[in-house]
Structure 1
């Protein structure tokens, strides 16, 4: 019989987050399902939190106690949302939750945040992203975004920041708390916000991705990767980003495919 673990899932109301919460609940774990709205996701307990509001995040963290095994931070909004909200929810909210959870996680625990293959190119924007990672106040983040190129997709920026922040957090989190920090980067997934991505990224781009790998992902393609990185089986993995996209990014970046006969 597997040990019953204690898991916090942020963004548990729908999509990948709901599937993650359901996965852990079904295997007998104690799941705290967190979302900005009321939800019917299977869980042991529920909490509301608005990731745009640091006070709401503090209230959440002050009320849940310690001894948690894992934070699965899945919450996010698409690029159709106001640009400031995209950064506040996808990046800053994730950051404040992750840092606040570190002392609440047991030694050997883990944080897994959902980034995106839309973060491709993050390593070419380190100087730009460093300015964003210096900020921990929502108003400052909004001002920062107002000074950026309006033609650069803010969703991509938000997920690049998630990925870079997680990598920068991983070493200190491991050293001080014994907690691992990793990210999972899905490609297009059949969730309620897929049509939003078609608007912001272009339906032709998503259709090309679908044609290349055969189909879009479903939530059940993504959940096992999150579960693995959060599990003791990944005890020596931290500071990594796992692309879960059926190889689409590799097909674009690795050069000419090997021809099989």
Structure 2
């Protein structure tokens, strides 16, 4: 856990997409622990502590009408939006580029890229009116290094470009937009892989910090970018990978 105070985000509201997953749930918990009132979005509305002022809505962020309606409901309920975390993403099974069909490619980009844009457009409207706000887009180290899912990396590279565009266009209005690129992280989805001791050891051996990340590692950085501690951080990518991306040459030398 982090040492953030329980009032760092007091009086502010936050919207988190993909909140029903392991990473999204950790981000919701982090922002709530810092005092924010949180709206959780997912295809199925996650459980929310309404007694504490938190809420949840079902929303397909790949559909602009859904996002616009969710933003309208939140505006009527909360009257403001201070923080937006675009965490929702889809990762189809491994598939080379040559085998992809239009529907597979389009769904990845509809959620991972257009979904982030739709949410920033509609939830960000309250930020632009208020002249303040922080947008945090979840990208991935796959934006910089290819993996086995042909469309995923390109979609996340586009998220980085979108983040910089938001920062430059909306910075003069008082908004900040930054990206977090997670490395190897243990989530409920990836846990069956890491539950195998050989798989875990092989992955840990190529991470400089010698452990696989947990959702709280990512959520802590999101909390930093959402808070005033990062008030002069805008248009940046923060890679949270335990040093994994810095290790290739060292790992090659060990094998030689």
TM range (shorter): 0.7 to 0.9
Q: Distance in 1 between matches of 2:132 and 2:114?
A: 25
Q: Distance in 1 between matches of 2:202 and 2:150?
A: 19
CA contact (8 A) 2:139 2:179 kept: yes
Paired residue for 1:12, among 16, 19, 23? 19
Give the length in aligned residue pairs: 223
Q: Distance in 1 between matches of 2:59 and 2:149?
A: 29
Partner of 2:100: none
Q: CA deviation at 1:108?
A: 2.9
TM-score by length of 2: 0.77
Q: Distance in 2 between matches of 1:244 and 1:32?
A: 25
Runs of 4+ in structure 1 deviating by more than 4 angstroms, as ranges, are: 195-198, 204-209, 253-257
Deviations 1:235-259 (A, max 9, x none): 10100000000111122389999xx
Partner of 2:152: 155
Residue 209 to residue 120, structure 1, CA distance change in 2 (3 Å): farther
CA contact (8 A) 1:15 1:219 kept: yes
Partner of 1:24: 31
Partner of 1:125: none
Gaps of 5+ in 2: 1-5, 95-103
TM-score by length of 1: 0.76
Paired residue for 1:178, among 171, 174, 178? 174
Is residue 2:85 matched to residue 1:72?
Answer: yes
Deviations 1:193-218 (A, max 9, x none): 327999xxxxx999754321222210
The Cα RMSD (Å) is: 2.8
Residue 5 to residue 255, structure 1, CA distance change in 2 (3 Å): same
